[in-house]
Amino acid sequence: MTRAAVFFDRDGTLCREVGYVNHPDRLALMPDTPAALRAVRARGLAAIVVTNQAGAARGYFPFHLIEETHRRLVDLLAREDAALDGIYYCPHHPDVGPPGLRRRCRCRKPGPGMLERAAREHGIDLARSWIVGDTFKDVGAGRAAGLAGAVLLRTGYGRGELVKHAACADVWPDVVADTLTDAVAHVLARVGREHG
Ligand SMILES: [Mg+2]
Ligand SMILES: [Zn+2]
């Protein structure tokens, strides 16, 4: 039995956009993140993070810091009775970094690799799933994975992204939302009612 998911970008979406998170303490939730995740999971949808984290490849922080930061994310959510079904990150960069991190991968958004892997590992029906993010890379990953739809947030880089891509965009979000709360309300209104 497959179920639908809502894929969430991390920085600028669930968490404040603060530049590179080079220490776990820099990670801070958006105020409406716990309630938004609770609403998604209460509907039987999986809540899954998909995040590009090329900072290690760029040498801005050690590789192990990515997973330390995600342990803090899980802890911050747990304090508010919220949880995620999975966290996927792409540590690669196509042009910089040591061997292993410097490569053209399928997982770096706008590639679909993280969404495809999550679908295999969590039994997700991509065609009924959505993505929420603050950049056109998030929207592009959703399109590439064949999702039902994509929401672009005006939080994080969102406002600037809309300006930058207004003239020429090969992908465009289905919904533009001011807040994560609004984004999740749009998704829950569109996705079929799920039964676990
Ligand atoms: Mg982002
Ligand atoms: Zn990758």
Task: Answer yes or no: is pLDDT of 193 > 60.
Answer: no
Task: Answer yes or no: is pLDDT of 167 > 90.
Answer: no
Closest ligand (CA of 109): 2
Average pLDDT over residues 25-36: 97
**Is 170 an active-site residue?**
no
Q: How far is the CA of 100 from the centre of ligand 1 (A)?
A: 24
- The secondary structure of the chain, three-state, reads CCECEEEECCECCCECCCCCCCCHHHCCECCCHHHHHHHHHHCCCEEEEEEECCCCCCCCCCCHHHHHHHHHHHHHHHCCCCCCCEEEEECCECCCCCCCCECCCCCCCCCCHHHHHHHHHHCECHHHCEEEECCHHHHHHHHHCCCCEEEEECCCCHHHHHHHHHCCCCCCCCEEECCHHHHHHHHHHHCCCCCC
**Residue 192's pLDDT band (boundaries 50, 70, 90)?**
low
What pLDDT score was predicted for residue 196?
A: 42
Task: Answer yes or no: is pLDDT of 143 > 80.
Answer: yes
Q: How far is the CA of 10 from the centre of ligand 1 (A)?
A: 6
CA–CA separation, 117 and 134 (whole Å): 22
Among residues 11, 85, 134, 138, which one is catalytic? 11
Q: How far is the CA of 73 from the centre of ligand 2 (A)?
A: 21
Average pLDDT over residues 161-166: 93
Domains of the chain: 5-190 (3.40.50.1000)
Q: How far is the CA of 1 from the centre of ligand 1 (A)?
A: 31
Average pLDDT over residues 126-143: 98
Average pLDDT over residues 116-131: 98
Closest ligand (CA of 161): 1
More confident residue, 100 or 115: 115
Task: Answer yes or no: is pLDDT of 194 > 80.
Answer: no
Q: How far is the CA of 104 from the centre of ligand 2 (A)?
A: 7
What pLDDT score was predicted for residue 153?
A: 98
Question: Residues 68, 42, 114, 168: is their CA dihedral positive or negative?
Answer: negative
What pLDDT score was predicted for residue 170?
A: 85
Backbone phi and psi for residue 152, each to the nearest 5 degrees, phi listed first: -100, 125
**Is 11 an active-site residue?**
yes
Closest ligand (CA of 8): 1
